[in-house]
Amino acid sequence: MSLFLSLLFFIKKSKTNSLGKASIFLRITLEGKRSEFSIHRKVDVSRWNSKSQLVLGNSPEAKEINKHLNVLRNKVYTIQQNFERNNESYSAIDLRNLLQGKNKSQKMLLEIFQEHNDQVDSLIGKDFAAGTAERYRTCKKHVEAFIKTKYKKNDIPVQQVDHKFITGLEYYLKSTRRCAHNSAIKYITNFKKIIRIAHANDWIDKDPFLNWKGKLKIVDREFLNEEEIQKIIELDLKMERLDQVRDIFIFCCFTGLAYADVKKLNRNDIISESDTEEWIKTKRSKTDIRSNIPILPIAKKIIEKYEDNDLLKEKGLVLPVLSNQKMNAYIKEIATLAGITKNLTFHLARHTFATTVTLTNGVPIESVSKMLGHTNLKTTQHYAKILDMKVSRDMKILREKFK
């Protein structure tokens, strides 16, 4: 069945030139989606009949223009019939391009995505972190699976991405892929970059994200309290692998380093500013923002424990960090042994530093933000919102003052 097609020839009176003439445009509308362009003919505004979409009169100029309009109209319908005959997908833009002699092949969505991902991969360690590249690869897999499920195709022209495609992809991520709301929004935001590339290169006429609003939900981040930290510290761990993971986890609880940053932590990143004061000065892998973190006594003891490790010395590293997958698996074992029911992940150590170790103990939020290497104070404020115990402590001081 043919798609519904309508054609409209019109003039823009607001763009009439000094001779009283305006350009004639053709608007192609296919299933409610438009594409319009100038046909490179001008007509006296007073001679244009918008109802019949023709030039009034029998002058040679009027006859020539009207003939040209009919030829264009017939060509559009012929192009549509060819698409239908060959069982090919097409859009208003495709009809316009063929009418104008632009027979270049359509840019395919997943091809553009792969080109982008290849560029990101080649810039890992320079402009992008390995984790960023991995997120784009995962995002492409989700988009590819959605296209196969929804369109029964291996790829689609990028022109077919519209608001309906975006909302459909979001629903697919949440329902079929069972992504949490924030994860789904982050994938859509990654996908948005690909569409912006297409728009910037004129492969699509309009940005389909103009009317899409993706808002992340603020999630209360879990962290360990002082009692739970102490339970982990006091555990008598017989297995070396668990003992090492416990050390690195506690180290991050007292430095705020994320997994990627503690894994690459180099001995040169530890700076002595006096006999008693040492700092970790490093750039975050995720944002390339510098973090300056004073080394607290418990963190210093853990560094000293591994100072004579020959393998670490050879690599210039500070701690024996395993893969992220193993670190997360082993920290869950440690939580079970310590009788902690919270869902422990290695990243929870960073949250613990931000809350229990610093903010709860009165460290100003601006200082915490700087140590965490946050680019925006709002990111750090998420931690402050969950510190009911600090609010209670602050109000106790206020009560005493009013007494």
| pLDDT at res. 57 | 92
CA neighbor of 349 nearest in space, from 222, 231, 194, 230: 222
| pLDDT at res. 103 | 56
Instruction: Give the mean model confidence (pLDDT) for residues 226-254.
Output: 93
Instruction: Give the mean model confidence (pLDDT) for residues 285-312.
Output: 87
Last residue of a domain, one of 74, 99, 124: 99
| pLDDT per position as a tens digit, 338-357 | 999 988 899 899 889 988 88
Last residue of a domain, one of 66, 99, 132: 99
| pLDDT at res. 355 | 86
CA neighbor of 79 nearest in space, from 157, 155, 5, 153: 5
- Considering the entire predicted model, what is its pTM? 0.58
pLDDT at residue 51 tops 90: yes
Helix segments in 152-255, DSSP class H = 163-175, 181-200, 226-234, 240-253
| pLDDT per position as a tens digit, 161-177 | 999 999 999 999 999 99
In a domain, 133, yes or no: yes
pLDDT at residue 137 tops 60: yes
Confidence of residue 21 (pLDDT cuts 50, 70, 90): very high
| pLDDT at res. 392 | 67
| pLDDT at res. 26 | 95
Looking at the fold, whether 144 and 186 belong to one and the same domain comes out as: yes
| pLDDT at res. 305 | 93
Looking at the fold, whether 243 and 381 belong to one and the same domain comes out as: yes
In a domain, 211, yes or no: no
In a domain, 217, yes or no: no
Domain that holds residue 235: 226-402
Looking at the fold, whether 357 and 379 belong to one and the same domain comes out as: yes
Looking at the fold, whether 126 and 58 belong to one and the same domain comes out as: no
Residue written as token pair 């509308």: 29
Instruction: Give the mean model confidence (pLDDT) for residues 243-261.
Output: 93
Confidence of residue 46 (pLDDT cuts 50, 70, 90): very high
| pLDDT at res. 393 | 67
In a domain, 285, yes or no: yes
Looking at the fold, whether 73 and 140 belong to one and the same domain comes out as: no
In a domain, 127, yes or no: yes
Rounded CA-CA distance 84/81 in Å is 5
Looking at the fold, whether 275 and 377 belong to one and the same domain comes out as: yes
Looking at the fold, whether 284 and 191 belong to one and the same domain comes out as: no
Instruction: Give the mean model confidence (pLDDT) for residues 253-263.
Output: 91
| pLDDT per position as a tens digit, 72-121 | 999 999 999 988 888 888 888 888 888 887 655 578 999 999 999 999 99
pLDDT at residue 368 tops 90: no
Question: Do the Cβ atoms of 110 and 143 come closer than 8 Å?
Answer: yes
Last residue of a domain, one of 69, 99, 129: 99
Looking at the fold, whether 342 and 374 belong to one and the same domain comes out as: yes
Instruction: Give the mean model confidence (pLDDT) for residues 312-322.
Output: 91
Q: What angle do CA 381, 382, 385 make, to 5 degrees?
A: 85
Phi, psi of 92 (to 5 degrees): -60, -35
Confidence of residue 389 (pLDDT cuts 50, 70, 90): low
More confident residue, 383 or 87: 87
Confidence of residue 232 (pLDDT cuts 50, 70, 90): very high
3-class SS letters over 100-132: CCCCCCCCEHHHHHHHHHHHHHHCECCCECHHH
Exposed/middle/buried for residue 33 (C-beta within 10 Å: 0-12, 13-18, 19+) = middle
More confident residue, 2 or 115: 115
Output the average pLDDT for the chain: 88
Half-sphere exposure of 41 (CA within 13 A, CB side): 21
| pLDDT at res. 272 | 85
In a domain, 221, yes or no: no
